[in-house]
Amino acid sequence: MSKVYIILVNYKKYSDTVECLESIFKNYYNNFQVLIVDNSPDLSSLTNLSKWLNNQYGQIPTLFEDLVYPLNNKLIPHATLMEAELQNSARAYQEQVLLIRAENRGFAAANNIALNYILKTGEKDDFIWILNNDTVIDKYSLTNLLNFYSNGDSYDKLIGAKLMHYHDRNTLQAIAATYNKWLGITKHIGDGETDVGQYDKYEVKKTDYIVGACMFLPFEYLQKVGVLNEQYFLFYEELDWLLSAAKLNLGYAVQPKAIIYHKEGSTIRGAKESKNMDVADYYINVNRIRFTLKWYPSYILSVCTGLSYSLLKRLIQGRFKLVLSILKGTLSLIFKRRIINNK
């Protein structure tokens, strides 16, 4: 029975993480270990996650009582660690949950803390599930993800699930996503459609990619492709990862029988919503250029043209500081690229 490492990154939204954890512990496959990487700016999340692990949390508001309730009523075997402590240890922790306190260096870096630990301690038959913390999983989702590999010849693939909108459980969020090289933008496939099984036999195309909210992969796949690229901080890291894997003849696919309900953007939004959305806006635009320069440099002019329209829209909205910071970030990337090419 293969072990599954489930990675959750928590940035301030511990209530989402607790709801997700309750659904994980209700799923029908029980050989798993959860690694929670908490890169929040204060200790509030760590305190509340510890309360849940010690059965001291209380009630959980949810739209998915059938997947979240009845709530856990016992202490969960766990270990609480600092990032450096995990990195410097060769120990394979056996506790069902590892709660890891880390500095915030972005989504990729947070996942890499767990991925590097798994590379040190994991075994050939293990699997890794990178899952957004603002999700609720169907009880059969993990079993169905594993069943994708039951024929034994799919270990060269990373897979995604059928993502549904949390606030409208019959509406698709994405079966996969597609990337437009000319504009440097992405689009979810199926977003907003009522799910009537139209994507239940979906096969990903070369222009598709797996949405980063749910990525499931064999241990051997991770060994070959390595960890995520931390330069991105937010956005485009999963697309960069999949293209790196493709260069190694590793593929990706979708398991539509695995169903995940995703709030999308809950971690980015927060109490100071406008500030957090500006941060997200900055990285999605700057990394649009970063990704293009790395993978599709011949398309940089058309992508920059598309970016200029985006910046004009933000100027009209009066978001002058944001536009200036995006311009500084993108121009810095372009000039660095020119310097490297001229050497």
Per residue in 137-184, pLDDT (tens digit) is 999 999 999 999 998 778 999 999 999 999 999 999 999 999 999 999
Among 230, 231, 225, 226, smallest CA distance to 247 is for 225
Length in residues, the chain: 343
Report the candidate in 142, 138, 106 with the shortest Cα–Cα distance to residue 34: 142
Q: Domain check: are 97 and 121 in the same one?
A: yes
Q: Answer whether 0.85 is exceeded by the pTM.
A: yes
Q: Assess whether pLDDT exceeds 60 at residue 247.
A: yes
How large is the average pLDDT for residues 279-288? 95
Query: Are residues 33 and 61 both part of a single domain?
Result: yes
Question: Do 62 and 184 belong to one domain?
Answer: yes
Q: DSSP assignment of 26-53, as one string?
A: HSS---EEEEEEE--SSSHHHHHHHHHH
Answer yes or no: do 71 and 134 share one domain.
yes
Q: Residue type at 94?
A: Q
Same domain, 251 and 277: no
pLDDT value, residue 207: 84
Domain boundary pick from 206, 227, 262: 262
Do both 140 and 286 map to the same domain? no
Q: What pLDDT does 206 receive?
A: 84
> Across 92-156, where does the E strand assignment appear?
97-101, 127-131, 135-137
CATH number at residue 189: 3.90.550.60
pLDDT of residue 232: 95
pLDDT score of 341 more than 70: no
Domain boundary among 235, 262, 289: 262
- Whether pLDDT at 255 is above 70: yes
Same domain, 246 and 300: no
Residue 342: per-residue pLDDT: 53
Question: 106's torsion region: left (phi>0), alpha (psi -120 to 50) or beta?
Answer: left
Q: In angstroms, how far is the first alpha carbon of the chain from the final one?
A: 53
Q: What percent of the chain has pLDDT over 90?
A: 90
Is residue 268 in some structural domain?
no
pLDDT confidence band for 29 (50 / 70 / 90): very high
Residue 24's closest CA among 119, 96, 99, 118? Answer: 96
Q: Residue 67 in contact with residue 138, Cβ under 8 Å?
A: yes
Q: What integer is the mean pLDDT of 221-248?
A: 97
Q: Are residues 176 and 301 in the same domain?
A: no
324, pLDDT greater than 50: yes
56-111 confidence digits (pLDDT tens): 999 999 999 999 999 999 999 999 999 999 999 889 999 999 999 999 999 999 99
Same domain, 252 and 290: no
Residues 130 and 150 in one domain: yes
Confidence of residue 308 (pLDDT cuts 50, 70, 90): very high
Q: What percent of the chain has pLDDT over 70?
A: 95
Domain boundary among 238, 262, 286: 262
CA angle 19, 68, 104 (to 5 degrees): 15
Q: What is the number of structural domains in the chain?
A: 2
Question: Mind giving me the DSSP string for 2-25?
Answer: --EEEEEEESS-HHHHHHHHHHHH
Domain shared by 40 and 188, yes or no: yes
Domain that holds residue 316: 273-342
